[in-house]
């Protein structure tokens, strides 16, 4: 395999906080050396003049829905991996809510084979915590983990039964595994469509009170105290749940959490005139909660930012608001939308990229998220300042359900590498 030498890059290492001009050499799929004015190696070498663009670890997206197997017309593993590569994502982890549900070893192995066949962004998978996502009978977590499942979750469904959740945490602790929860109390959220409040009342839409999230998180944290199991709360959106997680971390509990760009880039006003493309689960929250999410990212309470990519076809979204599917696509907008936190002066670039790469890799015990010699050369080269406007018709994702269409952003992916091989390059 030939070598690649990146010259004149702005090197961003989230692990060390490094942010300086330098060079990086890739050999045999790994980072060989990082520094200033590296000597050119002998033999065949590709020289890439970065012209001051940022070179950073590829993003690790820890919450992605793909629709293969079962509904490949919405998003296949190939289309999802292609879209992720265009977004600077070098590893994505998919939820198990496919058809059939990923709750046995054969399906975990199927995802691994398909990822190898696609040869773009690395696609890993979670396995279901309960069989068929039914919320009752636990899956064989030990066997599924040995087959390659990174963690266990019921995807977009909460494990609502407290006894089942306690058993799941205890079982997972036996094998030192991670349990990921969709934190919404179903009895308080299943009949709602958007955040409960003045806007929902004015639109005549049934609301979901933020307490539905907070109650579930607080209950689960009590169960973590009892069991000692590793716990991760997905896409947190409310001040109450963030404060609960902050306190749990101060106690030393094995707890982590993530959020997604819509929850710090939008608030409930985005629903506007019944815009179903702004219907999410959990829903867009109040401005107070949006600011609480940013505060959680700033102080490290929220560990990671994930795309929460949820592809739906037109038939699922172009319906009355109450009947429309929840979720938006996010692979190709994860980096530019997150960079708004940097451009607004709310987070430094190394700290932001830590939430996008190193922290999710650490939570899932993956090797990515750092510019260190000997680590895999999973990299993204991007211009943090280049302005452009999001246009859903240019997405490589099969579906275009995004409320960010037309939004002006700064930050453009120029090149993405996985194990030293270029899997995406911007032509233009």
Catalytic sites, residue numbers: 308
Nearest-angstrom CA–CA distance, 323 and 200:
15
- Exposure pattern of 258-275 as b/e (b: 16+ CB <10 Å)? bbbbbbbbbbbebbeebe
Q: What angle do CA 352, 354, 355 make, to 5 degrees?
A: 70
Nearest-angstrom CA–CA distance, 121 and 380:
12
H helix or E strand, kind and range, residue 359: helix 359-363
Residue 22, both tokens: 């330098």
Nearest-angstrom CA–CA distance, 119 and 344:
36
Nearest-angstrom CA–CA distance, 371 and 280:
35
DSSP string, 304-337: EE---B----HHHHSS-TTTSPP-B--TTTHHHH
100: Cβ contacts below 8 Å, ≥ 6 apart: 69, 70, 107
Residue 328, both tokens: 């938006």
177: Cβ contacts below 8 Å, ≥ 6 apart: 141, 145, 151, 152, 230
Residue 416 carries which DSSP code? E
- Residues 259 and 239: beta-carbon distance below 8 Å: no
């Amino acid at each position: 395999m030939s070598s690649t030498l990146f010259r004149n890059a702005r090197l961003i290492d989230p692990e060390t906080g490094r942010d300086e001009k330098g060079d990086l050499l890739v050999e045999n799929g790994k980072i060989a050396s990082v520094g200033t004015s590296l000597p050119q190696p002998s033999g065949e070498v590709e020289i890439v003049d970065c012209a001051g663009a940022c070179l950073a670890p590829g993003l690790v997206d820890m919450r992605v829905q793909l629709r293969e197997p079962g509904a490949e017309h919405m998003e296949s593993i190939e289309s999802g991996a292609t879209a992720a590569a265009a977004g600077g994502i070098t590893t994505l982890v998919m939820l198990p809510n496919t058809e059939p549900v990923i709750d046995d070893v054969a399906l975990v192995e199927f995802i691994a084979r398909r990822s190898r066949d696609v040869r773009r962004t690395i696609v890993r998978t979670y396995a279901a915590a309960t069989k068929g996502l039914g919320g009752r009978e636990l899956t064989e977590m030990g066997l599924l983990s040995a087959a390659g499942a990174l963690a266990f979750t019921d995807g977009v469904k909460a494990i609502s039964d407290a006894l089942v959740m306690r058993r799941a945490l205890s079982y997972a602790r036996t094998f030192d595994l991670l349990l990921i929860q969709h934190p919404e109390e179903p009895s308080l959220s299943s009949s709602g469509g958007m955040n409960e409040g003045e806007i929902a009342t004015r639109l005549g839409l049934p609301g979901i009170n933020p307490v539905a999230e907070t109650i579930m998180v607080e209950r689960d944290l009590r169960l973590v105290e009892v069991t000692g199991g590793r716990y991760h709360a997905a896409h947190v959106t409310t001040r109450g749940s963030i404060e609960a997680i902050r306190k749990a971390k101060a106690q030393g509990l094995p707890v982590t959490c993530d959020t997604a760009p819509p929850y710090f880039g939008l608030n409930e006003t985005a629903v506007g005139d019944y815009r179903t493309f702004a219907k999410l689960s959990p829903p867009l929250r109040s401005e107070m909660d949006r600011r609480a999410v940013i505060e959680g990212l700033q102080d490290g309470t929220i560990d990671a930012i994930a795309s929460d990519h949820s592809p739906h076809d037109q038939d699922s979204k172009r319906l009355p608001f109450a009947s429309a599917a929840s979720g938006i696509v996010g692979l190709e907008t994860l980096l530019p939308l997150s960079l708004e936190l940097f451009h607004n002066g709310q987070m430094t670039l190394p700290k932001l990229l830590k939430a996008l790469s190193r922290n999710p890799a650490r939570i899932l015990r993956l090797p990515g998220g750092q510019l260190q010699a000997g680590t895999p050369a999973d990299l993204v080269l991007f211009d943090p300042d280049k302005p452009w406007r999001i246009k859903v018709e240019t997405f490589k994702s099969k579906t275009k359900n995004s409320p960010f269409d037309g939004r002006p952003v700064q930050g453009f992916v120029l090149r993405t590498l996985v194990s030293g091989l270029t899997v995406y390059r911007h032509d233009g």
